[in-house]
Amino acid sequence: METMVCPMGGVATRLYSALTQTSSSSPLPLPPPQTPTDTNLDPAFCQGQKASPVCPPDPAELLRQCEEALGDRPPRLHRTFTRLNDGDGIPGSSVRVMQWNILAQALGEGLDSFVQCPPEALSWSRRKYLILEEILTYRPHILCLQEVDHYYDTLQPVLAGLGYSGNFCPKPWSPCLDVEGNNGPDGCALFFDQSRYEFIDSVNIRLSAMRIPTNQVAVVTMLRCRSTGRCVCVVVTHLKARSGWEWLRSAQGSDLLRHLQNLVQKHAGDPAVAPSSDIPLFVCGDFNAVPTEEVYRRFATSPLCLDSAYKKLSQGGLTEPQYTTWKIRPTGECCTTLDYIWYSQDTVRVDTVLDMPTEEQIGPNRLPSFSYPSDHLSLVCDFSFKEKE
C-alpha cells in the first residue's frame, strides 16, 4: 500500500513562514494549559475544539515546502504499509492513528547524548521540518505525540492551520527545564482531524503510583466520528523511562487502566456520547517498557480487551517488532520495542500497519540522524469499526 497525502486546496505559505520564524529559544506565546489532575476523569478545558470543521490548506504543498527547506539531506526512510484487511468494516469508519515520540528538542541537544549523531542533525531548524514531513506524509486522523516541547510555537499553530485540534499536557517536572535555553516543559499532545471527528470531552491526567503522584501524564480525549456517529476514546501517554523503574511503570499503567475503566463506565449508555457500551479505545504511547514487562502484560490482559496493533506485522500476529527505537548513547547501543498502539479488539479491527525500516535503511549511526528527527520510529495504523453482531 502506498502512503497517501490528501490535498484539500488552499495556500500553505503562511504556515511555512511560521515554521521558518520559530527557534529553539523562542518563548511560549500562550499561557500553559490546565494542570493535570490525579482525580477521576472530569470534563476538561476545551479551547476551540467544538468549532465547525474547517477547510485546511493543501498539505501536499506544505510537504513539498518542507522537502525543499531540507535541501540535499539524505533520503528519508522508505516505509510501506502491510495490508491486513480489505477495509470491509463499517463504511466511512476508517481511521488512521499515528503514535510517535518526537524527541524533545532540549533533551536531544542536551541530556540524551546521542554520541553518533552530528550536532547539526539535532538542530531545531532542521528537525522541525523533518517532524512535520513525517506527519504530512502519513496524514493521520488522530495524532499522539510524546516529548513535545514546541507545542505552542510550532506544532499547535501549524497543525491547526491543517484542520487539527489539539490538547497538550506538560510533565509537572520536565527534565527539559534543566537544559539551558530550553523551550519550556515537554509533555504529551493529542491532535485530531476536525473534518473527521467532533470533540466531546478531554482530560489531562497526572499518573499515580500507589496513590502518589508521579511525573508522568496522559491526555484522554473522547471524540465522535462525523460520518458514522460512533464515539472513540483516544489516549496518549509516556511512562517512566530507564531500567530499574519497571515497578513504577507497572503502577502507572494500572492507574491509567483504572481511569479508562471509570471513563467507559461513566459514558456507557449515555445517549449524548454512546448509546451502547461499545466505546472503542486507542491507547498510544511510549511505555518505556519491553513486551516482557509487567505493564505490558497488564494491558494485554485488561478487562478492556486491548490488543497491540503492531503484533499484526509478525507471523501469526503474536509478537511485537524487534524495535521501535534504535539509538547509540555513551552507555552503548539500544535497539528495542518501547512504543505501542493498543486498541479495542472487540469493536475495532486493524486494516493496515506501517512497517519498520530495515537496519540498512536506518544506518550505522542509528537514530536520530539527518534522515530522521527522533530516536523513536513513528507507528501508523489504519483501523475500522467492526459491524455490530
Break the chain into its structural domains and give their ranges: 74-385
Bridge partners, residue 339, by sequence: 286
The whole-number pLDDT of residue 19 equals 53
DSSP code of residue 252 = H
Which pLDDT score, from 0 to 100, does residue 265 have?
A: 80
Extract the C-alpha cell encoding 176.
Answer: 527539559
Enumerate residues 6+ apart whose C-beta is below 8 A from 331: none
User: Given pLDDT bands bounded at 50, 70 and 90, which one contains residue 17?
Assistant: low
What's the one-letter identity of residue 386?
K
List of residues 6+ apart from 63 with CB closer than 8 A: 5, 133, 136, 137
**C-alpha 15: how far from chain center:** 21
**Whole-number pLDDT of residue 74:** 87
Give, for 300, the enclosing helix (H) or strand (E).
Answer: helix 294-300
Query: Taking each helix axis from N to C terminus, what angle separates 13-21 and 59-70, rounded to the nearest 10 degrees?
Result: 40
- Confidence band of 278 (pLDDT split at 50, 70, 90): confident
The grid cell for 197 is 471527528
**DSSP letters along 254-273, please?**
HHHHHHHHHHHHHHBT-TTT
Q: Which amino acid appears at position 121 of this protein?
A: A
Range scoring the smallest mean pLDDT among 139-148, 259-268, 297-306: 259-268
Q: What is the total residue count of the chain?
A: 389
End-to-end alpha carbon distance in the chain: 29
> How far from 36 is each of 171, 191, 204, 207, 213, CA to CA, in Å?
8, 17, 5, 9, 10
Name the CATH topology of 74-385. Deoxyribonuclease I; Chain A (3.60.10)
Cα–Cα distance, 10 to 238 (Å, whole number): 35
pLDDT of residue 72: 81
Question: For the chain, what is the largest distance between any 2 Cα atoms, rounded to a whole number of angstroms?
Answer: 57
Looking at the predicted structure, is the pLDDT value of residue 125 above 60? yes
In this structure, what DSSP letter does residue 293 have? S
Return the SS3 of 131.
helix
Check residue 56 and give its pLDDT: 53
> Does 29 have pLDDT greater than 50?
no
pTM score, whole prediction: 0.86
Residue 208 has pLDDT above 50, yes or no: yes
Give the SS3 label for residue 250. Answer: helix
User: Could you tell me what percent of the chain has a pLDDT over 90?
Assistant: 68
Helices 13-21 and 124-138, axial angle in degrees (round to 10): 150
* DSSP code of residue 12: -
Is the pLDDT assigned to residue 314 strictly greater than 60?
A: yes
